[in-house]
Structure 1
Amino acid sequence: MAIAPTLDRSRDYARRAWTPRWLADRPRPLRIAVRTVAIALLALFAVWLILFVTKGRFLKGPFEGIASSALEREVSVGGDFQLYFAPIDVKFLAEDVRISNPDWAEADQFFTARLIDTRIRIFPLIFGQRKMKWLTLDQGAVALERDEDGTRNTWTFGDPDTPGEPLEIPQIERGTVSGSRLVYRDPPLQLFADIGFETVQAKDTRFDSDIRFTGEGTMRERPFTLAGNLLSPNETIAGGSNRLALRAEGSGTVLDVSGTLPAATQLEGSDLRFGVRGYDIANLFDFLGVAVPSTRAYRFTSALTYDGSEWKFTGLKGVFGESDLAGSLRVGSPNGRLKLIADLATQSLDIVDVGPFIGYDPRRLDDMGKAGAIRQVNGRPRVLPDATLRIDALRRFDAELRYKVAKVRAESFPLSNIDLTLGLDDSLLTMEPLTANVAGGTITADIALNAREPVVRTAYDIRLSPTNMGRLLASFGTEQSGTTGSVSARVQLAGTGDSLRQSLAHSSGRIAFIIPAGTFWTRNIQLAELDLGTFAQKMFEDELKEPVQVNCGLIAFTVRDGVAAADPILIDTKKNVMLGRGGFSFRSEAIDMAVRADAKTFSLFSGQSPVGVKGYFAAPAIDPISGDLVGRAGAGIGIAAVASPVAGLLAFVDPGDAKAAACGPVLAGASAKAQRTEDGEARDDVGRGTTAKSEDGEQSDEDKDGQRKKFLGIF
């Protein structure tokens, strides 16, 4: 019975002999915890020691099996294999490495290398970050591919049908590569690139090595080349940074990037300078697979950095065409979708440089100036741009843009202080609002282009606040000092089509210019009053510069499927009622209108003949001698022949019976049906003209049925 206590005392003595004095007196749970940690550390040390001594070569088989299962790709190592801690970071070496591609890829292997030798930092790895202290790669090859739909890629491992994830490159602080290449295939972007890498001895003693790379490829069937180098710092020099220099050329675009990187593949925290030049900036953004407006020849510089989520172009400045540009641009991928955010400003914008924004060919504008906006189609001049939207590219990205222009240089259109807010959200492009100052008035536009549906639909709502006509039309002969009249306007159209011309050619809506009471003074008075008798009378009395007194006026058109008909053209002045009929076509760009003035007072020498406005948008023509005037002249000659020369003047007498307009419906922009005389009677002299001809030269249905007569010369 006395043996058991003796044994217990022996065991207790043994435990105390192996337990440090500071721990022997501690509570039992603490002693157990400390011993557990000590055993775990001892076990880890044993593993570390075994791996360090054996270099982990015995893990080759398990590594291939585990990696193949995790990646769902075949992973093999044909030569030497090492995986161990040295002393803390993970040392990994493998020879003849192969990682296969999914079956849909063009290349059989995603990655191959004769040798890969790297040291991976252990503490960042614990927190899910892949950082390599250094990497040696010999005869390596990487094949990055996206499928035809752009939904899958070869760098997203696991289930081969899993949607592709963004490419994340491990951070490599220093590296040496030899005989290695990278191939990138992107069918949706129509992009192919083949880049080779080679390390040479750096001549600068501050750097250990110089990784040089050259490559070529195609983008949308257009070839490009690139070349550059990356200098890795000498470890013995503290504070060294990797120095990058890159140049890419293609499709008339030259891109230069230079500066420093914290690590060879670490872009976050980089300090770079970016420069680009070319003949059309849209070609540059093609490399991102997005569509931006074209420009004339350009060159820009900026600072460039990456903050982990966005590329930031700051201090951007340069020129496009004859215009300047400054501001900032951010490019990121929130929610996995590419997004551009820009804040840009121009001090002086040449009107010719606006052309490419709305679809004109920038090269034609460079070669021909404003004349480059006009093309001949089937023998007719055409000015509306018909460059189609790249709907596929619009659907790939979102955008937010704020753009301001201080002044526009234009010969005959005083435009300034443009302020544009543009948004692109899932194929819905909006310009809300676009504001500008024109001759002291304000243009406000809300434009929405919806490309979410198969057929692109565009809605235009453009408004002009009351604007002095003297300033607005000064370049057309208006005297500012004698013109108090103003004009306001609104254009509301909605159409379908993937170009500006097509959307207008298939648009419907209304266009209205309203002229309230005021004076209008012109250097060409016969075009203001359109009354030959009044003009002659003023000419004989030397009173050519007396202002025209305008009571109210409306120049309005109803647009149906791209064809605009006057609805109405009605201007009431002190001495005349000016009436217009006809219209124009966005389809053929033809103009077929006539304007005449009926006198309110007796006029002896009045031709009373319409002035025709014909031709095309690009080449309008005014015809003040219409068939009606020729007919009157013929009638006058006939009367004079059978009676007397004085009797022949009867053909040119205007009895002065024009009915003054009620200004209420005019100033309200009402249609022709709502117009009234000053006595309240419905007008019967507006709204019965023909419309312009269609693109194939045929007149509208209303013209074909014979219910409307041709308006030129016939009222």
Structure 2
Amino acid sequence: MVDDAIPTPDAGSRPLAQRVRDRWRRLPLIARIALWIVGVLFALWLILFITKGRFLKGPFERTLTSRLERSVTVDGDFQLYFAPIAIKFRAEGLRVANLPWASKPDFLRADLIDSRIAPLSLIFGDKVRVPWLELRNAAVDMEWSRDHRHNTWTLGDPDKKGEPVNMPLITRALLAGTTLRYRDPQLQLGTDIAFETAKARDTRFAQAISLSGTGTMRTLPFTLTGQLLSPNATVSGGKNSLVGRAVAGATVVDVTGTLPGVTQLEGSDLRLVAKGQNLRRLFDFLGAAIPDTRDYRFTSALTKVGQEWRFTHLKGRFGDSDLAGRMTASLPNGRLLIDADLATQKLDIIDVAPFIGYDLQRVATQGASGAIETVSGAPRVLPDTPLRIEAIRNFDANVRYTVKTLRAPNIPISDGAVTLTLDHSLLTLSPLTFAMSGGQVSSDIRIDARQQPVRTAYDIRLSPTPMGKLLARWGVAESGTSGTIKGRVQMTGLGDTLHDSLSTANGRIAIILPAGSMWARNVQLSELDVGTFVTKMFSGKLKQPVQINCGLIAFTVRNGVAAADPILIDTRKNVMTGRGGFSFKNESIDIAFRADGKKVSLFSGQSPVGINGYFAQPGINVISPELMARGGAAAALAVVGTPLAAVLAFADVGDAKGAACGPILSGANAQGQRTKRGNPRDDVGRGTTAKDEAGKGNKGEAKAQEKKFLGIF
């Protein structure tokens, strides 16, 4: 009973500390650890918040100097703490030294930096998020080294390869007396830009950051102006509005639209308008190379996705040609890559000229004659503009381009398409296709500028094409012409111009004529006229079409000189053979054709008909020395005999040997040609020029042959 009278202590009467300890002990171990961590972090946060983190100034300077491997100092006040969640960083007189090779002593210096930094962005993601940044009297120096291996903004190991610019995502900013300097010796680009912040006049916006600058690109001066309006959160809460302009001579680029943040280009919604006199100058700024163009104007939507700048809904014109599509510019591995899908509905032939290598101004003012130059007293039509080897080394490209119609007199080309690939100075146009007179031309061209001299491989194929359509403008009638033409060109040459490449080319050219008919009109002799040529070869005016059994016009090309190998056309009545060739070196032509009858003819004037002159000025020699000799013989027979005897001078004994069409249709060379009986032919060349064959005889005969046939070489 005595024990029962003693009162038991009530839990609520225990001291508070005791009760807390009891509850702490009852918590699981993991919960106690978590609470300890939270407590420590809160204590650190509280210490930093109260002291503003000023005591971290020394460790900050030492740590960054060690990690960045360049001097980092703060001359004035320093603050680094959580306020309350975002990191507040404030430094007065901050200086980050530059690398030894740079032209300025400091990469960054600022009288004041005041910022808010999202802490998780320092741990996760590849970009630091900065909701607020204030810079006063700051200067940033961004430079590439001369070998383009290092730059000033790639921090850390000074031998580390330079990385592309990775700007922090700044939502809002206040800039006063802030400048940015950029230098790139490889692009020959230098620019200085000044930034200032002022109160915006538009009530929708709180402030406006204006920018202005000057610079040079490949010695060409340019100016930059612009304004970025930051939204007034109490009024609009919208995105930053950007208006900018870049001017370089006649080249003007305007950009308008919105940005999510001051430097937040991801998800931007911009509109670009570019205009000028020469699109090449605009691409020079991108670090890419294209030929000259006439005046242009393009519009495009513009945004940034990842590392890509995307130009979509691109539309405009250059010269008298239209262009539409999309283009993407990116910097994988620090190297410019252009990827594009482009289309043209009507392409003017003048706008094509510089892409082949012709002088744009000459062609634009003189027309087709502007493509012809006089060199050493002879006309030259193959362009001699060098490939911009140094320029194409700086970028890569994947471009797909289509053309619906080519606007050009007497050039029946349409529905063109090309896939252009540039990979470290290896340029390929494969496939390059277009429709021509009912046929299709397919090409694969490979230009290897990785080696010197530049090596170009050509593979051009012509599918069976109606001869009447292809040769209509030269006097071949479509009605009555059922023959077709197909062909192939395979050559390889050295040189950085089209002329030099072909002047050193080796390979083969073959044009095949399967069975069919050909009817030509006898028209003027004012130019190289196929109709006139055919009528002169095959007994004057044609009363009916020429019936072709098979034909081959082929040349073997050695060091830029093409020799007939063979020229052999078998028709129902005749066998036509040819000798000679042409030169890519001086663009001269000297080919002699002869048609021999398969049956006896008493009134044949068939003697060699020549094609001579130059690529730019070809001609037909229809009054050959052999024909003159026959005329002289006829006159002599008429004097000493009777007029009927004069006919003997024009008699053709009809001993022409029909050709086997198998070797012809397979494109075999002269040594592979056979008669219908299967015997080797002895009336076609063997892949040598007349000059080569002349060298096999005595010196006097060689000189005569060389002068008579191919003195042009």
Residue 388 of structure 1: how far off its partner (Å): 2.1
Pick one of 113, 117, 121 that aligns with 2:118. Answer: 121
Deviations 1:580-628 (A, max 9, x none): 1111112222222222222233444433332222222222222222333
Q: What is the identity, as a one-letter code, of the residue corresponding to 1:527?
A: F
Counterpart CA distance in 1 for 2:375 and 2:32 is 94
Cα separation, partners in 2 of 1:700 and 1:356, compared to 1, 3 Å:
farther
Indicate the residue corresponding to 1:3 in structure 2.
none
Pick one of 409, 412, 419 that aligns with 1:411. Answer: 409
Indicate the residue corresponding to 1:330 in structure 2.
328
Range moving further from structure 2, 29-38 or 235-244: 29-38
Indicate the residue corresponding to 2:544 in structure 1.
546
Residue 154 of structure 1: how far off its partner (Å): 0.8
Indicate the residue corresponding to 1:614 in structure 2.
612
Indicate the residue corresponding to 1:585 in structure 2.
583
Counterpart CA distance in 2 for 1:577 and 1:197 is 82
Deviations 1:139-179 (A, max 9, x none): 22211111111111111111222110111111111222232
Counterpart CA distance in 1 for 2:367 and 2:621 is 28
Cα separation, partners in 2 of 1:713 and 1:180, compared to 1, 3 Å:
closer
- The within-5 A match list for 1:67-216 is 67-128=64-125, 129-216=127-214
Listed as ranges, the gaps of 5+ residues in structure 2 are 1-10, 523-530
Cα separation, partners in 2 of 1:106 and 1:45, compared to 1, 3 Å:
closer
Q: What is the identity, as a one-letter code, of the residue corresponding to 2:118?
A: R
- The within-5 A match list for 1:415-434 is 415-434=413-432
1:673 maps to 2:671: yes
Residue 270 of structure 1: how far off its partner (Å): 0.3
Deviations 1:555-580 (A, max 9, x none): 10001111111111111122222221
Q: What is the identity, as a one-letter code, of the residue corresponding to 2:401?
A: Y
Does the CA-based 8 Å contact 2:108-2:138 persist in structure 1?
A: yes
Indicate the residue corresponding to 1:17 in structure 2.
18
- Provide the TM-score with structure 1 as the length reference: 0.89
1:482 counterpart SS class: coil
Q: What is the identity, as a one-letter code, of the residue corresponding to 2:262?
A: A
Indicate the residue corresponding to 2:503 in structure 1.
505
Counterpart CA distance in 2 for 1:103 and 1:700 is 70
Range moving further from structure 2, 516-525 or 336-345: 336-345
Indicate the residue corresponding to 2:554 in structure 1.
556
Counterpart CA distance in 2 for 1:92 and 1:227 is 30
Indicate the residue corresponding to 2:254 in structure 1.
256
Does the CA-based 8 Å contact 1:583-1:690 persist in structure 2?
A: no
Residue 373 of structure 1: how far off its partner (Å): 2.1
Cα separation, partners in 2 of 1:14 and 1:457, compared to 1, 3 Å:
farther
- The within-5 A match list for 1:647-662 is 647-662=645-660
Does the CA-based 8 Å contact 2:669-2:686 persist in structure 1?
A: no
Deviations 1:651-691 (A, max 9, x none): 33333332222212111111111112223222222116964
Counterpart CA distance in 2 for 1:154 and 1:368 is 51
Indicate the residue corresponding to 1:239 in structure 2.
237
Residue 553 of structure 1: how far off its partner (Å): 0.7
- How many residues get paired? 689
2:26 counterpart SS class: coil
Does the CA-based 8 Å contact 2:400-2:419 persist in structure 1?
A: yes
Does the CA-based 8 Å contact 1:581-1:688 persist in structure 2?
A: no
Indicate the residue corresponding to 1:50 in structure 2.
50
Counterpart CA distance in 2 for 1:399 and 1:466 is 33
Q: What is the identity, as a one-letter code, of the residue corresponding to 2:252?
A: V
Residue 437 of structure 1: how far off its partner (Å): 1.8
Cα separation, partners in 2 of 1:313 and 1:703, compared to 1, 3 Å:
farther
Does the CA-based 8 Å contact 2:45-2:82 persist in structure 1?
A: no
- The within-5 A match list for 1:306-317 is 306-317=304-315
Counterpart CA distance in 1 for 2:439 and 2:267 is 47
1:19 counterpart SS class: helix
Residue 358 of structure 1: how far off its partner (Å): 2.2
Counterpart CA distance in 2 for 1:649 and 1:44 is 123
Residue 644 of structure 1: how far off its partner (Å): 5.5
Residue 294 of structure 1: how far off its partner (Å): 4.1
Cα separation, partners in 2 of 1:604 and 1:179, compared to 1, 3 Å:
farther
Indicate the residue corresponding to 2:40 in structure 1.
40
Indicate the residue corresponding to 2:526 in structure 1.
none
Cα separation, partners in 2 of 1:80 and 1:48, compared to 1, 3 Å:
closer
Pick one of 518, 530, 533 that aligns with 2:536. Answer: 530
Residue 18 of structure 1: how far off its partner (Å): 5.7
1:225 counterpart SS class: strand
Counterpart CA distance in 2 for 1:548 and 1:624 is 19
Does the CA-based 8 Å contact 2:24-2:32 persist in structure 1?
A: no
Cα separation, partners in 2 of 1:336 and 1:526, compared to 1, 3 Å:
closer
Residue 643 of structure 1: how far off its partner (Å): 5.0
Counterpart CA distance in 1 for 2:87 and 2:95 is 20
Q: What is the identity, as a one-letter code, of the residue corresponding to 1:37?
A: I
Q: What is the identity, as a one-letter code, of the residue corresponding to 1:528?
A: V
1:436 maps to 2:430: no
Range moving further from structure 2, 639-648 or 602-611: 639-648
2:410 counterpart SS class: coil
Counterpart CA distance in 1 for 2:424 and 2:545 is 54
Does the CA-based 8 Å contact 1:582-1:711 persist in structure 2?
A: no
Range moving further from structure 2, 632-641 or 388-397: 632-641
Counterpart CA distance in 1 for 2:477 and 2:95 is 82
Cα separation, partners in 2 of 1:374 and 1:239, compared to 1, 3 Å:
farther
Deviations 1:8-39 (A, max 9, x none): xx9x9668536288x45734525632541353
Indicate the residue corresponding to 2:492 in structure 1.
494
Does the CA-based 8 Å contact 2:191-2:216 persist in structure 1?
A: yes
Q: What is the identity, as a one-letter code, of the residue corresponding to 1:117?
A: D
Cα separation, partners in 2 of 1:38 and 1:194, compared to 1, 3 Å:
closer
- The within-5 A match list for 1:276-315 is 276-315=274-313
Does the CA-based 8 Å contact 1:690-1:711 persist in structure 2?
A: no
Cα separation, partners in 2 of 1:531 and 1:363, compared to 1, 3 Å:
closer
- The within-5 A match list for 1:323-402 is 323-402=321-400
Counterpart CA distance in 2 for 1:112 and 1:359 is 49
Deviations 1:199-246 (A, max 9, x none): 333221111222222222222222222222211222322432111122
Counterpart CA distance in 2 for 1:203 and 1:46 is 41
Q: What is the identity, as a one-letter code, of the residue corresponding to 2:536?
A: L
Deviations 1:270-306 (A, max 9, x none): 0001122233323222222222344333222111111
Q: Give the CA RMSD over aligned residues.
A: 2.9
Range moving further from structure 2, 162-171 or 126-135: 126-135
Indicate the residue corresponding to 1:541 in structure 2.
none
1:296 counterpart SS class: coil
Pick one of 36, 59, 66 that aligns with 1:62. Answer: 59
Residue 122 of structure 1: how far off its partner (Å): 2.6
Range moving further from structure 2, 609-618 or 150-159: 609-618
Cα separation, partners in 2 of 1:597 and 1:526, compared to 1, 3 Å:
farther
1:112 counterpart SS class: strand
